[in-house]
Amino acid sequence: MTSWEQQQKAFTNFLRLERGLADNSIFAYQRDVQKLKDYCAPRSIDPVNVSLEHLKHFLTDLYDLGIGARSQARIISGIKQFFEFMMLEGEREDDPSELLELPRIGQKLPVFLTIEEIDKLIAAIDLSKPEGHRNKAILETLYSCGLRVSELINLRFSNLFLKEGFVRIIGKGDKERLVPVSPSVEKEIDFYVQGTRNHMNVQKGHEDFIFLNRRGKQLTRVMIFTIVKDLASAIGLQKSISPHTFRHSFATHLIEGGANLRAVQEMLGHESITTTEIYTHLDSAYIREAIISYHPRNKKG
């Protein structure tokens, strides 16, 4: 049986020696294949037995984790190169990714929550439980600051400047940005820190992380997804949401409220304003829906 480790090592050597790729490009391919391995290995699927169905389920898993269409397309591109290499080396006779459809880019507007839905989700948190105020602080921070889930779990006390009303975020590519902090976020973080967190046995090396699990260690991405999914289920929310939905909601509500597009771009940490512009389209769709629903000329009967 061909192991993932063997194929990954051979693929890396091929990229470096045969194709002469730069280290950054090699690392990108390695990261794509590692994502597939992380999905397949726990299911006892080795690289020579990966099927098209496995890859379809893998893509569904990426979507559930909040990975967007562009990132999915890039990951698929890397995986296709991996299977082409395996065929070249005679490890496989077929390419399971050949018929894998790329996700449509720019076709689907992101799901967002209404203010009422966000209020319901937060109200559903059981504050009598030890993790209650932590979870409330997490949701308030996701929504009020528009953070990515990776930015949230890596949030540190050394990045908080509450007196100045800002938090420093280390985003993609280690780029820093300052995001305003609302009084509600400041209040909920303070409740959590002064209550549950100050009475925890914080593990060495995790002292500066704000949000911790019950064992005193930094929270994982999966845990944040679980918190959000459980609350959505608790209120019977029909929308399929993830932590990233709060980021979409943050941007959408700002645009609806008349915020400057450049300011929203800065707060989200988007490198290109074209990425931020999707929220103007979403706002247009929202306005159209409101007109169709409420304009007297559009009412039946």
Give the gyration radius of the chain's Cα atoms: 22
Name the catalytic one among 92, 244, 248, 253. 244
Ranges in the chain annotated CATH 1.10.443.10:
115-294
Range 4-88 has CATH code 1.10.150: yes
CA distance 261 to 258: 9
- pLDDT confidence of residue 44: 92
Residues 121-144, mean pLDDT to the nearest whole number: 94
- pLDDT confidence of residue 140: 94
206 in catalytic set: no
- Checking if the pLDDT of 210 tops 60, the result is yes
- pLDDT confidence of residue 292: 56
80 in catalytic set: no
User: Phi/psi at 60 (nearest 5 deg)?
Assistant: -60, -40
Ranges in the chain annotated CATH 1.10.150:
4-88
Name the catalytic one among 92, 134, 197, 247. 247
Least confident piece of the model among 80-94, 107-121, 147-161: 107-121
High-pLDDT (> 90) share of the chain, %:
50
Q: What does pTM read for this prediction?
A: 0.59
172: confidence class by pLDDT, cuts 50, 70, 90? confident
Type and span of the H or E element at 294: helix 278-294
- pLDDT confidence of residue 108: 56
User: What is the average pLDDT score of the chain?
Assistant: 86
- pLDDT confidence of residue 301: 47
107: confidence class by pLDDT, cuts 50, 70, 90? very low
- Looking at CATH, the fold of the domain delimited by 115-294 is given as hpI Integrase; Chain A (1.10.443)
In terms of Cβ atoms closer than 10 Å to its own Cβ (0-12, 13-18, 19+), residue 286 is middle
More confident residue, 173 or 153: 153
- Checking if the pLDDT of 110 tops 60, the result is yes
C-alpha to C-alpha distances, 190 to 128, 154, 169, 187, nearest whole angstrom: 17, 18, 19, 5
- pLDDT confidence of residue 11: 94
- pLDDT confidence of residue 164: 87
Name the catalytic one among 9, 19, 172, 288. 172
- Checking if the pLDDT of 69 tops 80, the result is no
31 in catalytic set: no
More confident residue, 139 or 284: 139
Strands (E), the chain: 160-161, 166-170, 176-180
CA distance 227 to 232: 9
248 in catalytic set: no
- pLDDT confidence of residue 233: 95
Name the catalytic one among 148, 197, 248, 253. 148
- Checking if the pLDDT of 170 tops 70, the result is yes
- pLDDT confidence of residue 1: 47
295 in catalytic set: no
Residues 168-176, mean pLDDT to the nearest whole number: 83
- Checking if the pLDDT of 45 tops 50, the result is yes
- Checking if the pLDDT of 116 tops 90, the result is yes
- pLDDT confidence of residue 298: 52
- pLDDT confidence of residue 125: 96
253 in catalytic set: no
